[in-house]
């Protein structure tokens, strides 16, 4: 009976360890190639920050793609919008390295420098008055103001990269 109980307990331990390992493998850190300090093998607060950065990256790519579509009246590439499904795509990596990663790194480093402080943005309301809103970039819901600021910079970088590419 002891041997059977020990065997069942051992099987549970092995199954539990496999489940934890699978969950760790299944989490794809969105900042792993950008600036994750643990190359995607993170947990706790670090994982939370990386996930927040990934959320901002997704929103940023969508907004830059929408701005490009509005300017050019043509559909943006899947590489720009994040819709490309090719593994290790050189065009996606070029955009990440030249456009999105530098902007995200700058914003994340700025917010880490202000961590614990009450950072606020000046926003013009619909009635024309300027109000202050709290920045939630790494600490809460997606900060729309930060994403809009990053969009402007990313769009400039993208246009410069495209101009260089067409020479």
From the list 17, 90, 101, 89, the residue with the least C-alpha distance to 57 is 101
Q: Per-residue pLDDT tens for 104-123?
A: 999 988 888 887 788 899 98
The answer to whether residues 24 and 99 belong to one domain is no
The answer to whether residues 112 and 137 belong to one domain is yes
Structure tokens at 37: 């300090």
pTM strictly above 0.95: no
Structure tokens at 66: 């929408």
**Which pLDDT value is given to residue 114?**
81
**Which pLDDT value is given to residue 25?**
53
The answer to whether residues 9 and 90 belong to one domain is no
**Which pLDDT value is given to residue 56?**
92
CA dist., res. 82 & res. 164, Å (int): 21
Mean pLDDT lowest for which of 45-49, 74-78, 87-91? Answer: 45-49
* 8 Å CB contact between 96 and 34: yes
The answer to whether residues 2 and 78 belong to one domain is no
The answer to whether residues 45 and 23 belong to one domain is no
The answer to whether residues 37 and 108 belong to one domain is yes
Q: Per-residue pLDDT tens for 15-62?
A: 444 434 444 456 788 888 788 777 778 888 888 888 888 899 999 999
The answer to whether residues 73 and 17 belong to one domain is no
Q: How many domains does the chain have?
A: 2
Q: Per-residue pLDDT tens for 125-144?
A: 888 899 998 988 888 888 99
* 8 Å CB contact between 98 and 157: yes
Of how many residues is the chain composed? 167
The answer to whether residues 10 and 57 belong to one domain is no
Which is higher by pLDDT, 160 or 166?
Answer: 160
The answer to whether residues 4 and 54 belong to one domain is no
The answer to whether residues 52 and 11 belong to one domain is no
The answer to whether residues 10 and 64 belong to one domain is no
The answer to whether residues 59 and 124 belong to one domain is yes
Which is higher by pLDDT, 165 or 153?
Answer: 153
In whole angstroms, how far apart are CA 123 and each of 78, 126, 127, 138, 140?
A: 32, 10, 11, 19, 18
CA 88 to chain CA centroid, Å, is 17
Q: State which residues form the domain around 125.
A: 31-166
Full DSSP string of 87-143: TT-HHHHHHIIIIIHHHHHHHHHHHHHTTTS--EEEEE-TTS-EEEEE--TTTSS--
């Amino acid at each position: 009976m002891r041997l059977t109980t020990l065997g069942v307990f051992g099987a549970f331990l092995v199954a539990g360890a496999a489940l934890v390992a699978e969950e760790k493998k299944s989490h794809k850190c969105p900042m792993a190639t950008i600036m994750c300090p643990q190359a995607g093998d993170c947990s706790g607060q670090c994982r939370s920050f990386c996930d927040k950065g990934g959320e901002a990256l997704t929103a940023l790519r969508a907004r830059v793609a929408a701005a490009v579509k509005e300017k050019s009246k043509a559909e943006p590439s899947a590489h720009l919008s994040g819709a490309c499904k090719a593994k290790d795509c050189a065009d996606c990596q070029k955009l990440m390295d030249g456009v999105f990663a530098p902007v995200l790194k700058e914003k994340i480093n700025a917010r880490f420098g202000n961590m614990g402080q009450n950072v606020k943005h000046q926003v013009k309301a619909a009635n024309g008055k300027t109000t202050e809103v709290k920045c939630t970039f790494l600490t809460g819901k997606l900060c729309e103001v930060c994403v809009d600021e990053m969009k402007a910079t990313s769009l400039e970088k993208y246009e410069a990269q495209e101009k260089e590419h067409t020479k």
